[in-house]
């Protein structure tokens, strides 16, 4: 049985990598054809496509009452996106960070994290009510009211992106020289759509295969559900973001790579957690609240790194990856 799971894990990785390559090609071509910034495509189409595994896992977990996996998957995925996805991509190629991401998208992600932390922890956390609680005991709830606010905020955010993109078309796309335009082979719209749909299908299918097999292997090794959700499931569902951003970075589509990672964080917090909590309120334990604090600190740190010289350098990428390794070790040992 374990041999089959390992084979499924390898097959999932292969499908995931190829799907990401096709998806990035179609998304970048679509952005060029409609003179839409790669950053915006990364924040919307690519982020939505690569966040599909998180949506599937968290929604299914909420329906089944597996609260620990539903919440820890979202938190763990965001930590992975900020530290591993951006870190690894920066190591491969220094990542320039668009002004809009610095001034709009990073703050939106941080504000959503702060809102979730304050509303879930509540006044009891400030008064020290949880000081005598175990890490796995219920300590707060992501209620339907909270999830409704998150979901409404997400709708407003996407609406703003669409309206702004129409008012301010991408200057860099309009300024492409004839030689540069020839280098970037134009694909017909039908082929762009085909690549995007096929890529999403392969990304989701490969991601699900990796998650299913990795979770089975991890549980067979005796890991807890919270740890599985924060590490194995979170990493597995975030593999599309990692692979897609790496492929984008190697193709020098750096705007798409950064937009995908930051956009996925916003999707996870506001859309995915919003939908799953609307279906079934999700209880948070003390470990999850602790992880939210860690996520907030990591979000601010990544924002600071991105704000220095408006790029994430290779050494900063190494620091981010090292922090992720330390966080995983902390999660295992606590």
Residues 6+ apart with CB under 8 A from 49: 23, 196, 199, 200, 203, 204, 240
Q: Cα(238)–Cα(207) distance, rounded to whole angstroms?
A: 8
pLDDT computed for residue 164 by the predictor: 77
Percent of the chain at pLDDT exceeding 90: 20
Report the alpha-carbon distance of residue 95 to residue 313 in Å, rounded: 7
User: What's the number of CA atoms in the CB half-sphere (13 Å) around residue 273?
Assistant: 37
Q: Give the orientation angle of helix 189-220 with respect to helix 2-33, to 10 degrees.
A: 150
Whether the per-residue pLDDT at 327 is higher than 70: the answer is yes
Q: Work out the pLDDT band at 178, boundaries 50, 70, 90.
A: very low
Total residue length of the chain: 334
Per-residue model confidence (pLDDT) at position 60: 67
Query: Which residue would you say has higher pLDDT here, 246 or 130?
Result: 246
Q: Provide DSSP, 63-91.
A: HTT-HHHHHHHHHHHHHHIIIIIHHHHHH
pLDDT value of position 38: 59
Mean pLDDT on 91-120: 90
Q: Supply the pLDDT for residue 258.
A: 81
pLDDT given for residue 185 in this prediction: 58
Q: State the CB neighbour count (10 A cutoff) for residue 5.
A: 16
Q: Among positive and negative, which fits the CA dihedral 161, 163, 165, 168?
A: negative
Q: What percent of the chain has pLDDT over 70?
A: 74
123-143 pLDDT per residue, tens: 445 445 554 445 555 557 788
Can you list the pairs that 188-196 forms with residues at least 24 positions away whose Cβ atoms lie under 8 Å? Answer: 189/30, 189/33, 191/26, 191/29, 192/26, 192/27, 192/29, 192/30, 192/33, 193/26, 193/30, 194/26, 195/22, 195/23, 195/25, 195/26, 195/27, 195/29, 196/23, 196/26, 196/27, 196/30, 196/45, 196/49
Distance between CA atoms of residues 210 and 10, nearest Å: 8
CB 306, CB 76: distance < 8 Å: no
Q: For 212, list phi and psi in degrees, rounded to 5.
A: -60, -50
Is the model's pLDDT at 114 over the cut of 70?
Answer: yes
**How much is the pLDDT for 86?**
93
Q: Which fold has domain 40-168+227-333?
A: A middle domain of Talin 1 (1.20.1420)
The predicted-structure confidence for 283-323, as pLDDT tens digits, reads as follows 777 878 888 999 999 999 999 999 988 899 999 999 999 99
User: pLDDT grade, residue 173 (50/70/90)?
Assistant: very low
* Buried residues in 274-295 as b, exposed as e (16+ CB within 10 A): bbbbbbbbbbbbbbbbbbbebb
pLDDT of residue 109: 94
Phi, psi of 281 (to 5 degrees): -50, 135
Mean pLDDT, residues 62-82: 79
Q: What is the DSSP string of 226-248?
A: HHIIIIIIHHHHHHHHHHHHHHH
Is 21's pLDDT higher than 80? no
Residue bearing tokens 């009891």: 124
Token couple for 107: 């703050």
DSSP 94-127: -EE--HHIIIIIHHHHHHHHHHHHHHHHHHHHHH
Count of CA atoms in the C-beta half-sphere (13 A) of 28: 22
**Residue spans per domain, the chain:** 40-168+227-333
Q: Is the pLDDT of residue 82 over 60?
A: yes
**For residues 78-102, average pLDDT:** 90
The pLDDT value given to residue 294 = 95
Q: Which of 35-49, 144-158, 211-225, 268-282 has the highest mean predicted lDDT (pLDDT)?
A: 144-158
Tell me, what's the pLDDT at 303?
95
Model pLDDT, residue 58 = 72
The confidence score (pLDDT) of residue 123 equals 47
Query: What is the overall mean pLDDT for the chain?
Result: 78
- Residue 121, pLDDT score: 77
Q: What is the mean predicted confidence (pLDDT) over 248-256? A: 72
């Amino acid at each position: 049985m374990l041999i089959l799971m390992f084979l499924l894990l390898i097959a999932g990785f292969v499908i995931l990598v190829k799907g990401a390559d096709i998806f990035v090609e179609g998304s970048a071509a679509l952005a060029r054809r409609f003179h839409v910034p790669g950053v915006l495509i990364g924040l919307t189409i690519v982020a939505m496509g690569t966040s599909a595994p998180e949506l599937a896992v968290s929604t299914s977990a909420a329906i089944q009452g597996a609260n620990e996996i539903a919440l820890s998957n979202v938190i763990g995925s965001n930590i992975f996106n900020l530290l591993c996805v951006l870190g690894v991509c920066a190591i491969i190629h220094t990542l320039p960070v668009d002004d809009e991401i610095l001034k709009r998208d990073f703050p939106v992600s941080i504000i959503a994290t702060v809102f979730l932390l304050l509303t879930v922890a509540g006044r009891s956390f400030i008064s020290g009510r949880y000081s005598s609680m175990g890490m796995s005991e219920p300590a707060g709830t992501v209620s339907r009211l909270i999830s409704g606010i998150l979901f409404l905020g997400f709708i407003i955010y996407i609406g703003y992106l669409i309206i702004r993109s129409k008012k301010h078309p991408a200057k860099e796309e309009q300024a492409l020289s004839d030689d540069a335009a020839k280098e970037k082979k134009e694909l017909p719209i039908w082929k762009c759509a085909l690549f995007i749909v096929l890529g999403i299908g392969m990304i989701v299918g490969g991601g699900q295969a990796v998650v299913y097999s990795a979770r089975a292997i991890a549980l067979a090794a005796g890991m807890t559900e919270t740890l599985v959700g924060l590490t194995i499931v979170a990493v597995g569902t975030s593999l599309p973001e990692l692979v897609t951003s790496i492929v984008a970075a190697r193709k020098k589509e750096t705007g798409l790579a950064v937009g995908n990672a930051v956009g996925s964080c916003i999707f996870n917090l506001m859309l995915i957690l919003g939908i799953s909590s609307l279906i079934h309120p999700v209880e948070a334990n003390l470990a999850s609240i602790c992880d939210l604090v860690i996520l907030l600190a990591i979000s601010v740190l990544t924002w600071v790194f991105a704000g220095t010289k408006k790029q994430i350098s290779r050494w900063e990428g190494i620091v981010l990856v090292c922090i992720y390794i330390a966080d995983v070790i902390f999660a295992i040992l606590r």
